[in-house]
Amino acid sequence: MEPSFQPEYNLSVEKYHSRILTPERWNSAHIRGRGAGNWIGFMRIFFQRSLFCLFLLVISSNLSWGASKDSPPQSAASDSSKSISGVGSVIWQNNFSAPGVSQIDTSTWTKNLGNYRRELPVINSPENVFISGPSTNKNLEIITSKIYRPSLYKGWCTTAPCQFVSGEITTRDKLIVKYGYIEAKIKMPSGIGNWPALWMLPDGNYGDSHKATPGEIDNVEWYGNKPTLLNFTLHSNTPPGQVNDSEVHTYFDTKQDLSQAFHLYGVAWMPGNISIYFDNNLVKTFSSGSLPAWPFNNFYYLILQGSVGPQPNTIYGGNWSGWQTSSMKISWVKISKYQGFGEVQILNR
């Protein structure tokens, strides 16, 4: 509902109009005569009318300023990526905020269960990923919570009882993408220890970096102990080995706490280079010469997850600071053509 605007100046134009020379006075006998006195009268009329026009201009400007001041503030992250040169038509999207959306689309996403990362103290539960919020402001939400009965989760985390429960969804075996502009609107969770991410793995590689299918694209990783930093990483293999033991990455200081508002995280993926964008602004570009191998010309699937870094640690989110529950929110995920490149395949495996 549009707010009604009340002008700051409640001035009556008629009140001021009564004090200036009206057309009737212009035609009065005082003006129609000849001589120097009439010239002075003419100049007085000209001066009065000029002042009145200036007055109306000032009032109009102030009213416009007042309306602007009362307008709702703009979001820090515009939803439009059309300002980025090369971004074309949308070829796939999942808008979790769309009217009528109340559940995760299981034809696209799978909720993961358990933990395949040996070093992490986190177990994934399907119950921790869901659509939440009022009908006008819904989001995909991934909850991470502290576990106080770790003995119940001893068999899930390899090296120790699980300390946290979180959520993870993936398009594995359902949707894969090759090239294009991949972006998401995300609000990061709050709290030191959090390590959420949007990342991609090659089709056929189901999380184990020692598989024969190398390559990993970390669209965005965020560390709770460094809340203003955006981290992007490309993982590759070093021939002749088939292990993701080579990487290039960038840390970009956004100068703002990314857990306080939604922001846009984009990756422009081409056959020979990959560029990172934050809120539609270019951060950095990596080319095929950045790594000893370039395993990024294949189809990849998407992963969205909350997580906590190894405990204790000073890098991947830091040491847990005592929070009980944190929430990562995702408004939408979208894939568009970029420089004419971009392909999505829907799988039925």
pLDDT recorded at residue 107? 94
Share of the chain above pLDDT 90, in %: 56
For CA atoms 64, 65, 66, 71, the dihedral sign is positive
Residue 187 makes CB contacts below 8 A (sequence gap 6+) with 139, 258, 259, 260, 261, 262, 263, 328, 329, 330, 331
* Predicted confidence (pLDDT) at residue 22 exceeds the cutoff of 60: no
In this prediction, residue 155 carries a pLDDT of 65
Angle at 100 between CA 95 and CA 104, to 5 degrees: 55
What's the pLDDT score for residue 70? 31
What tens digit of pLDDT does each residue of 262-299 get? 999 999 999 999 999 999 999 999 999 988 889 999 99
Instruction: Point out the least confidently predicted range of 58-67, 198-207, 239-248, 258-267.
Output: 58-67
* Cα(70)–Cα(5) distance, integer angstroms: 8
Whole-number pLDDT of residue 241: 59
Q: Residue 117 has what pLDDT?
A: 67
Cα 284 to Cα 129, 182, 215, 253, 278, distances in angstroms: 31, 15, 19, 12, 10
Helix (H) or strand (E) holding 282: strand 281-287
Q: What is the mean pLDDT of residues 33-39?
A: 44
CATH topology for 87-346 is Jelly Rolls (2.60.120)
With bands split at pLDDT 50, 70 and 90, how would you rate the model's confidence at 21? very low
pLDDT over 90 (residue 198)? yes
Report long-range pairs for 234-242 (Cβ below 8 Å, ≥24 apart).
234/274, 234/286, 234/290, 234/291, 234/296, 235/209, 236/291, 236/292, 236/293, 236/294, 236/295, 237/292, 237/293, 237/295, 238/292, 238/293, 239/292, 239/293, 242/210, 242/211, 242/212, 242/213, 242/214
Of the candidate ranges 111-115, 194-198, 233-237, 284-288, the one whose mean pLDDT is the lowest: 111-115
C-beta separation of 210 from 146 below 8 A: no
Instruction: Output 153 or 287, whichever has higher pLDDT.
Output: 287
CB 203 within 8 A of CB 344: no
pLDDT tens per residue across span 300-347:
999 999 999 998 899 999 999 999 999 999 999 999 999 999 999 999
Report which secondary-structure segment, H or E, holds 326: strand 325-338
- Mean pLDDT score across all residues of the chain: 79
Residue boundaries of the structural domains of the chain:
13-70, 87-346
The pLDDT score that the predictor gives to residue 27 is 40
Classify 170 as helix, strand or coil.
Answer: strand
Q: How far apart are CA 344 and CA 346, in angstroms?
A: 7
**Whole-angstrom Cα distance, residue 295 to residue 273?**
11
pTM: 0.75
Q: Provide the pLDDT for residue 254.
A: 97
Reply yes or no on whether the pLDDT at 201 is more than 70: yes
Measured between alpha carbons, how far apart are the two ends of the chain, in Å?
46
Residues 224/205, Cβ–Cβ less than 8 Å:
no
